[in-house]
Amino acid sequence: MAGDLILGIETSCDETSAAVVSGGRFVKSNIIASQINLHREFGGVVPELASRKHLELLDRVIKKALDEAGVGFSDLDGIAVTYGPGLVGSLLIGIVAAKTLSWSLGLPLIGVNHILGHIYSNLLEHPELEPPLLCLTVSGGHTDLLYTEEWGEYRILGRTRDDAAGESYDKVARFLGLGYPGGPAVERIAESGDPDRFSLPSPNLGEDRFGFSFSGLKTAVINLAHNLEQKEGQIPVADIAASFQKTVVDILLERVERALKDYPVDKVLLAGGVAANKYLRRRLQESLEKKGVDLYYPSLEYCTDNAAMVAGAGYFLLQQGKVSSLDLDAYPQLKI
């Protein structure tokens, strides 16, 4: 079938990834070269280092994706690439590679919104998924709650006004000296902490019933830790991490439960790096089960950044005739 086999390229942040996906849902290969070790000593992603590493790795990663899928360039039907949101220098490395391949092979170029990729990551393991549904995308750069009645049409119900959910994990982890990336580190230490020891603020955003805000929570955690250190001489890291995590998940859950009242669907998708969090999955699962609503989330490989989700979303865009021209540019602040 025309447009069947898509090469996806993802370089928006600190993962260099290429994948081959057939029919938008069947992963033939998904190669991810993580740069975590490179950035760890700096406590976060250093944009300049990230772009240089993408440049160094991307050729090999693409070759490996083709080899593992058992296909050559001539078998492909399109080249999909993340063009935003993300780090501009990193995005450009993937975009230039994709344009070069598209031009030299005479294949359609498909610019993919990274957030759309995260949403579609759920289809890679649940090809039968069909709207209407709600999707909560939670990652290092975005926190979006959306409703869709058909693939391709999205109603944004709420997004974050300041920090993204994953960003708040990363900042709290950095403050507590837990290292980078912060999400898994906070989750790990929170397992041995008391989530009810500290009561932390959740924002009231008035009319914006589905909106998010995490920067006040982060500041409250920092103030709490300072106060305890002064009073008790040490910071109860595990209890603070557990109380912080509980508050983040309470906020996310509350918005989903509210959205279900206005949009009574029977499917909720979770996507993005924070969807890897087992505590979030469990709490959401427990809440939705009581309502007879099914929860879907990708396996770990497809939660954090990967090119399979980009190729998957690219396939659907190609089917809809949404191809890009060779002047495709990077959009660091792109929204869904």
Q: Which residues bind ligand KG4 (CB under 6 A)?
A: 13, 139-141, 166-167, 169-170, 181-184, 187, 272-274, 276-277, 304-305
User: Minimal distance in Å, beta carbon 82 to Zn ion?
Assistant: 9
| Contact string (CB under 5 A) for Zn ion, positions 280-319, x = contact | -------------------------x--------------
User: Minimal distance in Å, beta carbon 269 to ligand KG4?
Assistant: 14
Helix H or strand E encompassing 226: helix 215-232
Q: From the list ligand KG4, Zn ion, none, pick the one residue 276 interacts with, judged by a Cβ distance below 5 to 8 Å according to partner type.
A: ligand KG4
User: Minimal distance in Å, beta carbon 169 to ligand KG4?
Assistant: 5
Q: Looking at beta carbons only, is 180 or 315 nearer to ligand KG4?
A: 180
Q: Looking at beta carbons only, is 78 or 181 nearer to ligand KG4?
A: 181
Q: From the list ligand KG4, Zn ion, none, pick the one residue 184 interacts with, judged by a Cβ distance below 5 to 8 Å according to partner type.
A: ligand KG4
User: Minimal distance in Å, beta carbon 9 to ligand KG4?
Assistant: 15
Q: Looking at beta carbons only, is 139 or 324 nearer to Zn ion?
A: 139
Q: Is the dihedral of CA 65, 5, 127, 141 positive or negative?
A: positive
* DSSP per residue, 69-138: HT--GGG--EEEEEEESS-HHHHHHHHHHHHHHHHHHT--EEEEEHHHHHHHGGGGT-TT--SSEEEEEE
Residue type, 265: V
Q: Looking at beta carbons only, is 76 or 171 nearer to ligand KG4?
A: 171
Q: From the list Zn ion, ligand KG4, none, pick the one residue 89 interacts with, judged by a Cβ distance below 5 to 8 Å according to partner type.
A: none
Q: Is the dihedral of CA 54, 60, 64, 70 positive or negative?
A: positive
User: Minimal distance in Å, beta carbon 43 to ligand KG4?
Assistant: 12
Residue 184's contacts (CB-CB under 8 Å, 6 or more residues apart) are 276
Helix H or strand E encompassing 281: helix 278-291
Q: From the list ligand KG4, Zn ion, none, pick the one residue 259 interacts with, judged by a Cβ distance below 5 to 8 Å according to partner type.
A: none
The closest of 13, 138, 38, 160 to 88, measured between CA atoms, is 13
Pairwise CA distance, residues 136 & 118, whole Å? 10
Q: Distance between terminal CA atoms of the chain?
A: 29
Asked if 121 interacts with Zn ion (CB under 5 A), we say no
Q: Looking at beta carbons only, is 81 or 288 nearer to Zn ion?
A: 81
Q: Looking at beta carbons only, is 85 or 108 nearer to Zn ion?
A: 85
Helix H or strand E encompassing 322: none
Q: CB atoms < 10 A from the CB of 78, how many?
A: 25
Q: Looking at beta carbons only, is 21 or 119 nearer to ligand KG4?
A: 119
The closest of 27, 76, 82 to 54, measured between CA atoms, is 82
Name residues contacting Zn ion, limited to 133-172 (CB under 5 A).
Answer: 139
User: Minimal distance in Å, beta carbon 5 to Zn ion?
Assistant: 24
CA 195 from centre of chain: 25
Q: By the criterion CB under 5 A, which residues form the site for Zn ion?
A: 139, 305
